[in-house]
Amino acid sequence: MARIHPLPDLLISQIAAGEVVERPASVLKELLENSLDAGATRIDVQLEEGGVRLIRITDDGGGIAPEDLCLALARHATSKIGSLEDLERVSSYGFRGEALASIASVARVSIGSRTTDTQHGSRIRGDTLAVEPAAMAAGTTVEVADLYFNTPARRKFLRAEATEYAHCDEALRRMALANPAVAFSLAHNGSQRRRLAAGDLRRRAQEILGSEFLEHARSVEVGAGPLGLTGFAALPAYSRSGRDEQYFYVNGRFVRDKLLAHAAREAYADVLHGARHPAYVLFLSLDPAGVDVNVHPAKTEVRFRDARAVHQFVFHALQRTLAAPLATLPGTHAT
Ligand code: ADP
Ligand code: MG
């Protein structure tokens, strides 16, 4: 019989990485979330070879103190929560304190950072945890190179460069729609692919979903007590053959939730036919205590305390918005 023994730290992180770090886009999602949690107003992303060779993200957020750099890479170390009460009302994207540790266990990672109150930056290497001075602007730059270089079995699951790039682009689109006040840029293999200026949701939706979407979209603005639904929902004339333009967020977090998708689909049921799919960017807000985001580290699932009430609310809010005569709607632009 084999005896029981504790696993080494690196292996524990690599096992965790198997769940969270599915592909370059999942790394990018985590890094974007960290930059946004740090209060960044501009985020620049550079990718090479679909993000497999390199993901470099630079933000102008609050930065990390040199003495904390080591902790940023440690498992279960976070600046975002400290207690169960914090966890139940968490408003940041991150709180598990394991993304960077997981990523660093399956790629070559370095983090350079400078807080706003210091003159000098520092950089840490993920493999040696050596910290050295670095000349840089205030903010943080994270580099993730050679994803899965030490876990060839996982590397085999990566798809073609164009596919991985498309997933990265989609991760950025999702984040950018929820954070229109933040400027983003995205470059791939040295060429600029996206440049999104800071603005409001209308402008961001236009940049990401296109003018045609916005021309057919009704502005959604429904609030009932602690529940609120805002965003844009396209009228049926602008329907899609796929679900590619369905962006649903719960308290600012992108989710792919059956209940919400169903409520939306039902609201369109009378006006949308056959195999067509509605297009929308919707933000549901509710008391953080009424929703559990702690279901899975990477999956975009949530659990509602009162699922029925949420379903009803979303359904009625959307149905009313779609059915209302044009002139009565606030913020609706006739075309
Ligand atoms: P979590 O986001 O769940 O806290 P991470 O492993 O993603 O866990 O990050 C660990 C910690 O590193 C964060 O809590 C934060 O303090 C710090 N950190 C990571 N990225 C950044 C960044 N871009 N700017 C400032 N701090 C960061
Ligand atoms: Mg994080």
- Stronger pLDDT, 67 or 273, i.e. the higher one: 67
Q: CA of 253: how far to CAs of 57, 143, 163, 247, 302, in Å?
A: 20, 24, 24, 10, 10
Check if 143 has its Cβ closer than 6 Å to any atom of ligand 1.
Answer: no
Residues 139-171: tens digit of each pLDDT: 999 999 999 999 998 999 999 999 999 999 999
Q: For the segment 4-51, what is each residue's pLDDT rounded down to a tens digit?
A: 999 998 999 999 888 889 999 999 999 999 999 999 999 999 999 999
Atom number, ligand 1, closest to the C-alpha of residue 72:
12
Q: How far is the CA of 68 from the centre of ligand 1 (A)?
A: 10
Q: Is the CB of 38 under 6 A from ligand 1?
A: yes
Token match 């990390």: residue? 64
Position in ligand 1 atom list of the atom nearest CA 62: 25
ipTM: 0.99
Confidence of residue 330 (pLDDT cuts 50, 70, 90): low
**Ligand 1: distance of its center to the CA of 59 in Å?**
12
pLDDT at 296 over 80: no
Summarize the confidence of residues 123-140 as an average pLDDT.
96
The mean per-residue pLDDT over the stretch 42-68 comes to 98
Q: Is 14 in the pocket of ligand 1 (CB under 6 A)?
A: no
Sheet with 253-255: list strands edge to edge.
217-224, 227-234, 280-285, 246-250, 253-255
Does 334 have pLDDT greater than 70? no
Q: How far apart are the CA of 25 and the centre of ligand 2, in A? A: 14
Q: Is 34 touching ligand 1 by the criterion CB < 6 Å?
A: yes
Q: What is the pLDDT of residue 143?
A: 98
Dump pLDDT digits (tens) for 229-257. Answer: 999 999 999 988 888 899 999 999 999 99
Determine the average pLDDT of the residues in 172-195: 98
CB of 61 sitting under 6 A from ligand 1: yes
Residue nearest (by alpha carbon) to ligand 1 atom 20: 34
Residues 301-315: tens digit of each pLDDT? 889 999 999 999 999
97 lines ligand 1 (CB under 6 A): yes
> Quick check: CB of 155 below 6 Å from ligand 1?
no
Does residue 23 line the site of ligand 1, with CB under 6 A?
A: no
The pLDDT value given to residue 327: 54
Asked whether the predicted pLDDT for residue 333 surpasses 80, the reply is no
Evaluate if residue 325 carries a pLDDT over 80: no
Please determine, for residue 329, whether its predicted confidence score (pLDDT) is greater than 70: no
The alpha carbon of 100 and the centre of ligand 2 are apart by a number of angstroms equal to 7
Which ligand gives the minimal distance to the CA of 78?
1
The answer, yes or no, to whether residue 113 has pLDDT greater than 70, is yes
Is residue 112 within 6 Å of ligand 1 at its C-beta? Answer: no
Ligand 2 centre from 207 Cα, in Å?
A: 26
Neighbours of 252 (CB within 10 A): 15
pLDDT of 221 reads 95
Least confident residue range of 5-14, 40-49, 184-193, 271-280 = 271-280
- The pLDDT of residue 328: 52
Q: Annotate 165-180 with DSSP letters as a single string.
A: HHHHHHHHHHHHHH-T
Residue 266 has pLDDT above 60, yes or no: yes
Q: What is the DSSP letter of 138?
A: S
Q: What is the pTM of this model?
A: 0.94
State residue 332's pLDDT score.
46
Nearest atom within ligand 1 for CA of residue 95: 3
- Half-sphere exposure in the Cβ direction for 320 (13 Å, CA): 15
DSSP letter string over 191-260? Answer: EEEEEE-S--HHHHHHHHH-HHHHHTEEEEEEEETTEEEEEEEE-GGG-BSSSTTEEEEETTEEE--HHH
